[in-house]
Structure 1
Amino acid sequence: MTQPRKRLVVLGLDGLPLGLAQSLADTRRLPNLARLLDLNATTIEAELPELSPVNWTSVITAAGPGRHGVFGFVGIDPATYTLGPVDAAAIRVPTLMDRLTRAGLTAKIVNLPCAAPVKPLHGAIIAGFPETDLARAVFPPELAQNLRLAGYAIEADTSRGAADFDALARGLRKTLASRRAALEMLWAGGDFDFFMLVATETDRLFHFFFPAVAHPEHALHGAVLDLLADWDRLIGLVLDRYEALPEPKRLIALADHGFTELVTEVDLNVWLARKGLLLTNPGAQNEWDARIAPHQTAAFALDPGRIYINIKERFARGVFHEHVAEKLARELRDELLPLTHEGAPVMEAVYLAEEIYQGPQLRRAPNLVCLARPGYSLTAKFNRAELFSRHGRTGCHSAHGALYCDTAAARPGTTTGAGREIAAYFDLPEPNEPAWISNAI
């Protein structure tokens, strides 16, 4: 007798904290969000640093950064000290899509951040931000043509930021319409075992208009709720489609990190430069134009809170041997922890890599990972002079309080744990992990 097909549906709601979700549901303007919160809502913690590439990769590999090797949006070449984007080619372990395909199962995925360049799989995938090219973002290739004809948008234009709510809202409505169209295309016929859709619109909205979302008295609060009503309809479409599936089935909804109102940005490269530990050559063209003077630099930071010691065994023009670097890392932690802004402490914790990461990619991890208190956004730019400043954003990520809902009432502690729930549901065996070498740190 043939066993009935069991399905798992994952709804990603980028950057959505449970507390804010509950407040929004209480407005009674978002009925489908309220439906979702009835599904055993709880919270999970983000892996550090609390960024989308780190955490969506942790979900989709069921592995932490020490195993999958993704520590941020940007990496640095250890030979030239130039910065460059980190994409899915940097993932050092098989993904759940790889494992599902090997098990003969069908996966269909819409708007998974940091998933390009995509690889062939049994099913279909549309990668999301930061990819802009559908040719790299979509498999199978014929799906890309269908999406082009439908006017599919991977990402909204956020260049105007908080200066133009109407422009941002138009862009987010377009991407929401794109997600709905892709859902209709890929769900048709129910030919899947695993279906995942990620809505990233909340993250974009929260970065630029968090006070308008969180405070009912804000002048734009009504307009924000109108926009979120479109987002709520997407949630409802997923829930309706899920409810129509036959048993056995399971639904998981989760965020990759939390969010909170911004107090100030804190630039760690400015802090290191003031300590005499980072020297850059003049003429930086933008915030990513590192221009590090390697022989004169003891340490540097990469967004958001990653500090690297310039180690001889790791970088082409390193300054210290590893045993000296370990001592310096501990000294830097001791100096960072008392850092204050207007009398308030900035740091919640500062971790040595080995305290939070395990696995073969530990050697590529930052020496220190800083976790700021809620409201303090750690940055690491190369063209700034102010330690504390604001640059158009009103909301920032939080490692705490990310939404997690599960019809099976599971309680994973982290985004990695959520990925393990997916793997366990399909009885996927643990993969062999080659200790691949990457050029990017």
Structure 2
Amino acid sequence: EIFINTWLHDAGYLQYAKEQPEGLHDMAASSVAYSLDPGRIFLNVKGREPGGRVEPGAEYERLRREIAEAAISMADPATGEPMVERVYLREDLYHGPYASAGADVVLAMRDGYDPKGPLGKPNLTFKGTSLVGMHTTPDALLYVQGMRATNRRPYIADVAPTILELLEVPVPADMDGRSLLGDQTGAIERSV
């Protein structure tokens, strides 16, 4: 586990209002950024965040780029190996009318590194005896009983239209993605 808020704190981007913070309500007003699972970094922007201090515009862009550039250099303290595979800015990932609700910076971690968002952890990393689950980005599994593998590469945006079709609910014309069932011939077993 990688505690992104510990990294932000150590780098001076996040300060705490009390010695043992329990949540974001314990973030000091002087903070410029904080992280939520999994590896989503938000700047403390005036007008967007309660008590925000980062000015929208030039200051926001400067700090966002600075944090993104620093994050790509984040190294495992035990091995010196890089922990971050890639850093995305909001506009790289989010589109549409609600894109502004997305994180300002998103970290895609290398295999074996699971980004976490709790505040006040004393160390950047924690290695337990086993990793019981983590967020991953290059893979996912969708199993529909009776459905054969599709002939095309599926995308995450295809999941919602597929579920709607399974529920026999019309798929809105403006919905991103295509149902994976459209590639099937014959009946798909449905039980509700």
TM superposition score normalised by structure 2: 0.75
**Which residues of 2 match residues 346-425 of structure 1 at below 5 A?**
346-390=83-127, 394-395=131-132, 396-404=134-142, 406-407=147-148, 409-423=150-164
1:291 to 26, 31, 35: 26
The answer as to whether partners of 1:281 and 1:291 remain within 8 angstroms in 2 is yes
Asked if 1:269 is matched to 2:5, the reply is yes
Q: CA shift at 1:330, angstroms?
A: 1.3
**Which residues of 2 match residues 102-117 of structure 1 at below 5 A?**
none
Greater relative contact order (Cα 8 A, min sep 6): structure 1 or 2?
1
- Computing the radius of gyration from Cα coordinates, the structure with the larger value is 1
Write out per-residue CA displacement over residues 81-129 of structure 1, whole angstroms, 9 at most, x where no aligned residue.
Answer: xxxxxxxxxxxxxxxxxxxxxxxxxxxxxxxxxxxxxxxxxxxxxxxxx
Q: CA shift at 1:302, angstroms?
A: 1.2
SS of equivalent to 1:398? coil
Write out per-residue CA displacement over residues 308-366 of structure 1, whole angstroms, 9 at most, x where no aligned residue.
Answer: 11111312321122212122111111111121111221111111111111121111111
What amino acid is aligned across from residue 54 of structure 2 in structure 1? F
Q: CA shift at 1:412, angstroms?
A: 4.7
Structure with more strand by fraction: 1
Pick closer, same or farther for the CA change 1:322–1:388 going to 2, 3 Å.
same
The answer as to whether partners of 1:329 and 1:368 remain within 8 angstroms in 2 is yes
What amino acid is aligned across from residue 315 of structure 1 in structure 2? E
SS of equivalent to 1:360? coil
SS of equivalent to 2:135? strand
**Which residues of 2 match residues 9-408 of structure 1 at below 5 A?**
265-284=1-20, 286=22, 288=23, 290-294=25-29, 296-323=30-57, 324-341=59-76, 342-390=79-127, 394-395=131-132, 396-404=134-142, 406-407=147-148
Structure with more helix by fraction: 1
The answer as to whether partners of 1:412 and 1:421 remain within 8 angstroms in 2 is no
Cα distance in structure 1, aligned partners of 2:68 and 2:14: 16
SS of equivalent to 2:108? strand
What amino acid is aligned across from residue 414 of structure 1 in structure 2? Y
Pick closer, same or farther for the CA change 1:336–1:289 going to 2, 3 Å.
closer
SS of equivalent to 2:87? strand
What amino acid is aligned across from residue 402 of structure 1 in structure 2? A
Cα distance in structure 2, aligned partners of 1:326 and 1:308: 12
Cα distance in structure 2, aligned partners of 1:340 and 1:285: 25
Pick closer, same or farther for the CA change 1:306–1:383 going to 2, 3 Å.
same
Cα distance in structure 1, aligned partners of 2:40 and 2:139: 22
**Residue of structure 1 equivalent to 2:186:** none
Cα distance in structure 2, aligned partners of 1:385 and 1:345: 20
SS of equivalent to 1:332? helix
Pick closer, same or farther for the CA change 1:422–1:381 going to 2, 3 Å.
closer
Cα distance in structure 2, aligned partners of 1:411 and 1:404: 14
**Residue of structure 2 equivalent to 1:71:** none
The answer as to whether partners of 1:290 and 1:382 remain within 8 angstroms in 2 is no
The answer as to whether partners of 2:21 and 2:27 remain within 8 angstroms in 1 is no
Cα distance in structure 1, aligned partners of 2:6 and 2:85: 19
RMSD (Å) for aligned C-alpha atoms = 2.5
What amino acid is aligned across from residue 292 of structure 1 in structure 2? M
Cα distance in structure 2, aligned partners of 1:285 and 1:411: 48
SS of equivalent to 2:42? strand
**Residue of structure 1 equivalent to 2:189:** none
SS of equivalent to 2:114? strand
Identity of aligned residues (%): 26
The answer as to whether partners of 2:3 and 2:124 remain within 8 angstroms in 1 is yes
Pick closer, same or farther for the CA change 1:390–1:282 going to 2, 3 Å.
farther
Cα distance in structure 1, aligned partners of 2:69 and 2:89: 11
What amino acid is aligned across from residue 35 of structure 2 in structure 1? A
Cα distance in structure 2, aligned partners of 1:394 and 1:422: 30
